[in-house]
Amino acid sequence: MQFNVGLAQRRPIFEDNPIKPFAADVASTLGKYPDIDMLVYPELHLHGTEHLPEVQRKDAERSKAVILDSPLVHSLGEIAKDAGVWLCPGSIGEIDGERFYNTQLLFNPYGQLVAYYRKMFPWRPFEPHDYGTQFIVAETAFGRAGLSNCYDAWFPEHSRHLGWLGAEFVLNIVKTISPDREQELLLARVNAITNQNYMLSVNCAAPVGRGRTIAADPEGYVLGELGDDEGTLVVSIDTTRVAHVRENGTCGTNRLWHQLDGAKHDIKLPMYDGRLCPKTFRPEKDGK
């Protein structure tokens, strides 16, 4: 299935009530690019704190956090419904009891929150959030979307599990303000290659972030890349290409998900106290 994704490289919103400026940006973006089917924003886009002294930012992030059943989240659903698109507004600070998460959201065009993902790999020791513990792959009208939040992309286990769970494209929302965005561009391509799916990595814009939003296809080819300023990267995704590459191999050669076909023994993974099993190695969408 083919569809268009808009990766909205933007500066964070610093207002106490981010809904009005966010709704205006969504409307403006879709007015400029009416063929967008899914619109994706950077990590913590609605909860900017970089205008504050650094010593105040962690407390400010927590003070902006909400529960999932909150007016803020409901308003985001209304924005998706009014726009008639799949919408990932980035992530928000989420409070769940005593826990404080960095939580990525995904809404369908009817305004329903179809998936939320709590960041599994916060950027230690700088981020105050708790660790999430569940990999999330959401069913959309266009295929399976893996949810990934910034530093998650540095851990191959994360992208591999999303691929194994059947993710055909991964929405990697980012707020990289550090000088290592160049390495993340390589990681986006590598994660696409090793898992044979699309990697869509949208960063926040300068002067807060390093920009360089990038989209890579299932063979690691770059579909598009932005500079460091605000902009929207619109790319066409074809999920049938994922199936083709996985079945026929990268460049017609490397059939990574078929590696254990016919094998009779498990491969032990002592680091995880686990194993790779021939019976379960293939991604879920392949019938496993």
Q: Would you kindly state where each structural domain of the chain is located, as residue ranges?
A: 2-254, 255-288
- Indicate if the pLDDT at residue 44 is higher than 50: yes
Between CA 167 and CA 35 the distance in angstroms is: 23
- Indicate if the pLDDT at residue 126 is higher than 90: no
Q: Which CATH number fits domain 2-254: 3.40.640.10, 3.60.110.10, 3.40.50.11540, 3.40.50.2300?
A: 3.60.110.10
- CA quadruple 97, 155, 271, 247: dihedral sign: positive
| Interstrand relation of 231-238 and 2-9 (parallel, antiparallel or unpaired) | antiparallel
- Indicate if the pLDDT at residue 57 is higher than 90: no
Averaged confidence pLDDT in the chain: 96
- Indicate if the pLDDT at residue 287 is higher than 60: no
Between CA 202 and CA 251 the distance in angstroms is: 26
In this prediction the pTM is: 0.96
pLDDT of residue 55: 86
pLDDT digit string, tens, across residues 191-223: 999 999 999 999 999 999 999 999 999 999 999
Between CA 37 and CA 85 the distance in angstroms is: 5
- Indicate if the pLDDT at residue 26 is higher than 50: yes
41 or 63, which is more confident: 41
Between CA 147 and CA 66 the distance in angstroms is: 20
**288 pLDDT tier (thresholds 50, 70, 90):** very low
pLDDT of residue 54: 84
